[in-house]
Every structure is written in structure tokens, then in C-alpha cells.
Amino acid sequence: MKVLSKGTVYGLRALVYLATQKDRTGYVSIGEISEKLDISFHFLTKTFQTLTQNGILESYRGPNGGIALNKPAEQIFLLDIVKILEGDDFFDKCLLGLPGCGEFEPCPVHDFWKVAKAALKNEFEITSLAEMGAKVTDERLRLSA
Amino acid sequence: MKVLSKGTVYGLRALVYLATQKDRTGYVSIGEISEKLDISFHFLTKTFQTLTQNGILESYRGPNGGIALNKPAEQIFLLDIVKILEGDDFFDKCLLGLPGCGEFEPCPVHDFWKVAKAALKNEFEITSLAEMGAKVTDERLRLSA
DNA sequence: AAGATTTAAGAGTATTTAGTCGCAAAACAA
DNA sequence: TTGTTTTGCGACTAAATACTCTTAAATCTT
């Protein structure tokens, strides 16, 4: 069950990494993140550009440049990131791919899929980068293979 | 949020259509299904071959040939179909794509993803083709755009 | 037996997603 | 002001997914 594209997965992992570095001042270079998480530098760069353009990250060029969260990790939620990287309609898709599937013209699995999507969306809505970062730090979780 | 591949979506829609035709005797031709559901004939054929090879369908060639469910629609569940078309490990994937993510080596969202997956899997497990077919017939639902 | 109908199977094409490369632009350092 | 570091951006390549086409095999009809 592949729910998120590679770009989104990489972006999420990278942002959680940033959240674990909250005590550092200044910017964290993309090169460092790419190395630590074993993600292609150029691919990561593209995802970060999207996140910068959408207000999640702040970037700075030149020596000691890099990226940084544009607001406290407590105020950035999974849903924000996914909406930017996957599109605003991420949680509006029909399981059977039928266009316009909804209350008025449902597909045969609309009822249970609606509930499942709502539950998932809620989790994405309340889970912050800070929470995930703390989990990684406290429980020594990994962010790469 | 694309959860199922096109092949699986087409297969599901086609099987539900078959379930709505339970009063007909004999085989239903792939050509008819392809036309009724507006799905490419050849593409559908490949998916049906997989389903035939895995015991969901029975097929017969020649005039008045076609396919038919290999057992009562009451005994075929969404989960059976998805497992065949998407792979047995469909519900075992990590949201962040980390290999070996599980209780022992979880990712930062493993806990809630595990719960969400289990709930979904349960729905897939208890929803039969008969149930979906009846819904389509009774509530006059559509199976194509 | 010959021709028509229908699934089986594999090769080939197109589109989407994933990943790479090279160079421009910004900022710093000597 | 020249060279170095770092992000920005567009073009390019590769791989996966989706789709099409052709031919073979099975079965029926006449």
C-alpha cells in the first residue's frame, strides 16, 4: 500500500530530521541532510524548493547557508506537508478512482472509505513535526534504512 | 491519495459488475464488461488472467465463452482480490518506506499508521463482492465515470 | 473442415514518476 | 575581485506503471 510518493516521503523524513536539530542555530545544509538520511542530494533539493516556496522552510545560500524551519516545529503538521507535496485534494480521492464520487454519487465502497480517510486525515492533522522529532530523539528511532 | 493501482481498480469494478449479474447463467464476455465499464479490453484481459490463475474467476473460450466467478460472491472478499492484484504484503508497508519498520524498529509514525492499516484491512476483510454488488443494484450506483 | 468467437500470452508503446546533471545566482572569504 | 560554498532551476535520463497490438489456442457453428 503505497500512499505517499517518494518526494513526499523524503521530504517528511528530512523535515523530521530538521525537527530533531532544534537546538542548533542557523541553517542546516541540504548536503548534510542528504548524507545523514541517505537521500539523493538533487532530488532532495527539488522537494525542499517546493517546501520553501510554500512557507514551510526558509533557505539561505552561500557558506553556512542551508535551510531551516520557517516556524516552530510545534506549528507544522503532517497534513500541511502532505497537502503541499501531494496536492490539496489528497484526502478527496475515491478508492475506485471514480470522478465525482461523494455523498451524492457514491461508489460501492464510499461509505467505509470516507470513514477511513477521515480518521487518517485527523491523525495527519494533529501530528506535528515537533512530536515526531521528539519521538525520534527520545526513543532513538531511525529516519533511514 | 492513490492506494490501488489501475489494474486493481479495474479488476474490482469488473468483479462487482459480475456480482450484479448473479441471475444470469453461463459466462459473461470480457468484451461486454469492457464496454459497460468503459475499460480497455486488453488491459482488463490481463487482470482477469491473473484473477483466473488465482482461483477467483473461471474462464471459458469460444462462442458464449467468457468469465464467471469461481465461487459464490458471498465468499469473495475485497481483501482476497487486493492481495492477489497488489501482493500479499499490501498491508505491511511502512508509511515512510523504511524497510523492516515494525514493533522492533518502528518509524516515527508507525504507531498510528499501524492502527489505520489494521482498521482498513478489517474493512477489506469483511466486505464481500455480494455486498458491494447488492449495493450497486439496490441503490442504483454506478461502476464507471 | 472452415470460419467465427472468445480468452491467453507476450511483445511493443506511451505516460508518469523517480532520479541525475550542469550551470546560474547568491552569499561569503581571502 | 576572484574563488568557494551553497541553494535555485531547468533539462535530461531511467525506471515503473499504464495501455495497445498481434498472434496463438480453444471452442462453437455451419
Per-residue pLDDT of chain A (145 residues; tens, 9 = 90+): 999 999 999 999 999 999 999 999 999 999 999 999 999 999 999 999 999 999 999 999 999 999 999 999 999 999 999 999 999 999 999 999 999 999 999 999 999 999 999 999 999 999 999 999 999 999 999 999 8
Q: What gap in Å lies between CA B95 and CA A4, rounded to an integer?
A: 7
Q: What is the pLDDT of residues B24-54, one digit of tens each?
A: 999 999 999 999 999 999 999 999 999 999 9
CA distances from A34 to A17, A28, A101, B16 (A): 11, 11, 40, 46
> In this complex, do B112 and A123 lie within 8 Å of one another by their Cβ atoms?
yes
Q: Give the predicted TM-score (pTM) of the model.
A: 0.94
> In this complex, do B93 and A143 lie within 8 Å of one another by their Cβ atoms?
no
Q: Which residues of A touch B9 (CB under 8 A)?
A: 95-97
How far from chain centre, in Å, is Cα B70?
14
| pLDDT at residue number B28 | 98
> In this complex, do A145 and B98 lie within 8 Å of one another by their Cβ atoms?
yes
| pLDDT at residue number A111 | 95
Interatomic distance B97 CA / D7 C1' (Å): 27
Closest amino acid to nucleotide C8 (CA–C1'): B49
Q: Kindly give the interhelix angle for B6-20 and B41-53, rounded to the nearest 10 degrees.
A: 80
% of chain B beyond a pLDDT of 70: 100
Mean pLDDT, chain A, integer: 97
* Domains identified in chain A and CATH numbers: 6-138 (1.10.10.10)
Interatomic distance A7 CA / C20 C1' (Å): 15
